[in-house]
Amino acid sequence: MHSKFTVIIPTLWRCAYIHDMLDAYEACELVGEIILIDNDNTASDKLNKQYTKLRVLPQQENIFVNPAWNLGVSFANYSKIAIANDDILFSTDIFEWVKDHMDTGVIGMCCSNYDPIDRDLPYELEKVDRRPPGWGCLMFIEKHNYTPIPLWLKIACGDDYLMDNVKGGAYILKNLRVGGRMSATSLLGDYVRVADEDIETYKQMKND
């Protein structure tokens, strides 16, 4: 239980990369379960194979990403949590390294993970006080250290809230190569409006 991960993925099925990563999570020995929060309620149509580790939580309506993270963590059976976008690609070899660094707080990534890396460099952590862009696309945290995000934050600032409230601090995972299409869903029109509202609400909360 203590050495395996629950991988939590909210999805609206806007990106095909999710199928590649479901295969990779299924094959990874350190992934104990995959919790898919189906915000489009179409998993039965979209899944083209069976997965022994997969648990689907279908939603009758889109609950958005931050509430989906909360829901996934509440259902997690394993002590280590990986929260992943459905539109990124990365090597699941990272689970072997990161499992020994989970006591640091909460670990995320940044846009530099998308930059081409000419040579293999060792993974390392860099502590940060401010969330860099892309940090919430892939996060690692111990379940007992997860702080539920307020439900009035739907899309944006959930990762800010974790960074501000998790004991142990926040870190960037450096030198992890990440591919895919970042923000395949959140850049769509209506989601931008909701995200902008979240940002303003969070700013006001921090200023009060």
Q: What is the pLDDT of residues 117-143, one digit of tens each?
A: 666 789 999 999 999 988 999 999 999
Task: Give the count of domains, the chain.
Answer: 1
Q: For 56-67, what is each residue's pLDDT tens digit?
A: 999 999 999 999
Residue 187: which pLDDT band, with cuts at 50, 70 and 90? low
Residue among 188, 154, 135 nearest 15 (CA): 188
pLDDT higher than 90, residue 185: no
Inter-residue long-range contacts of 39-47, CB under 8 Å, 24+ positions, other chains counted? 39/10, 39/11, 39/12, 39/63, 39/64, 39/68, 40/11, 40/12, 40/13, 42/13, 46/13
What is the rounded distance in angstroms from the CA atom of residue 29 to the CA atom of residue 154?
Answer: 32
Residue among 17, 25, 20, 55 nearest 38 (CA): 55
Residue among 129, 134, 122, 132 nearest 181 (CA): 134
The CATH number of residue 196's host domain is 3.90.550.10
Q: What is the DSSP pairing of strand 138-142 with strand 106-108?
A: antiparallel
